[in-house]
């Protein structure tokens, strides 16, 4: 059986230095006050986060976690990559922001953290690394206080199905099998030399929603967006400030969706 945790941790450890140095994440701009949170998730989060305790699952090197802290929240970030968590702790020091960061895979989080939160947050390119949505949803529910909010922003499956030139479907929408790929490069500038093997799963949106409902959460909203807030594919074009379309099908398919749930 393939060790997806080891393979994914290794390639995210390789990605982290390139991402830190990229204009995609623009760490110097962020340190100077630039916002890293995007419009879809900001539409769901409370405007004033002072007094909120937030758990950020799969936080990468903590930029969004610390953006939540900058808005007044008490934050805890969790990620599989040891390099990313080390970078997150360093970034918190540079920004003079208080934060707790935990290095572990998501499913083992109860071995490392025993408290509940007002908000659990996760965004963009997260659940594709997880094989079991029921366990994921159980983790989300485990860490929410009664009445707590789960804020989820993710790339739509329609963004992932295509072959390289977008002329046909490469992966079926209903695909329970892991996708194992050897990669060269990441989605940011300056990461062309990043190599490794990654293991992903494509989860249908219905399976995401049903997993959360099965874990005891109530869905309050489901919104699809015809743009990506990130220029994260090689064939994207700018449609409006902060809104990127696929060049071959501009505005024709959903690229991002959000879920707002409550326990």
Greatest Cα-to-Cα distance within the chain, rounded to the nearest angstrom: 49
DSSP characters over 36-99? -S-HHHHTTS-S--TT-EEEEES-TTSHHHHHHHHTT-EEEEEES-HHHHHHHHHHHHHHT---
Cβ-based neighbours of 23, under 8 Å, separated by 6 or more? 188, 189, 190
Alpha helices in 110-254 (DSSP H): 133-142, 205-214
Digit-by-digit pLDDT tens for the chain (263 residues) are: 689 999 999 999 999 999 999 999 999 999 999 999 999 999 999 999 999 999 999 999 999 999 999 999 999 999 999 999 999 999 999 999 999 999 999 999 999 999 999 999 999 999 999 999 999 999 999 999 999 999 999 999 998 899 988 999 998 999 989 999 998 889 998 898 888 899 999 999 999 999 999 999 999 999 999 999 999 988 999 999 999 999 999 999 999 999 999 99
β-bridge partners, 222: 259
- Give the global pTM: 0.96
- Domains assigned to the chain: 4-23+49-262 (3.40.50.150)
């Amino acid at each position: 059986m393939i060790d997806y945790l080891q393979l994914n941790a290794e390639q995210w450890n390789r990605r982290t230095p390139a991402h830190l140095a990229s204009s995609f994440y623009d760490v110097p701009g962020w340190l100077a006050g630039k916002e890293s949170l995007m419009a879809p998730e900001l539409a769901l989060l409370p405007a004033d986060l002072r007094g909120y305790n937030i758990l950020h699952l799969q936080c990468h090197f903590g930029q969004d976690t610390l953006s939540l802290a900058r808005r007044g929240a008490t934050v805890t970030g969790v990620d599989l990559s040891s390099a990313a968590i080390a970078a997150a702790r360093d970034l918190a020091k540079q920004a003079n922001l208080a934060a707790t960061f935990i290095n572990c895979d998501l499913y083992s989080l109860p071995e490392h953290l025993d408290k509940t939160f007002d908000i659990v947050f996760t965004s963009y390119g997260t659940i594709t690394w997880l094989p079991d949505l029921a366990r994921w949803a159980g983790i989300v529910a485990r860490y929410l206080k009664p009445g707590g909010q789960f804020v989820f922003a993710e790339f739509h499956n329609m963004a992932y199905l295509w072959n390289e030139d977008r002329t046909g479907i490469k992966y079926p929408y209903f695909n329970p099998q892991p996708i194992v790929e050897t990669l060269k490069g990441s989605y940011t500038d300056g990461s062309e030399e990043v190599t490794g093997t990654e293991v992903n799963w494509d989860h249908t949106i219905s399976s995401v929603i049903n997993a959360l409902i099965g874990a005891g959460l109530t869905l309050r909203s489901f919104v699809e967006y015809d743009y990506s807030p990130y220029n994260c594919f090689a064939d994207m074009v700018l449609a409006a400030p902060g809104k990127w379309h696929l060049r071959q099908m501009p505005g024709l398919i959903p690229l991002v969706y959000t879920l707002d749930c409550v326990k």
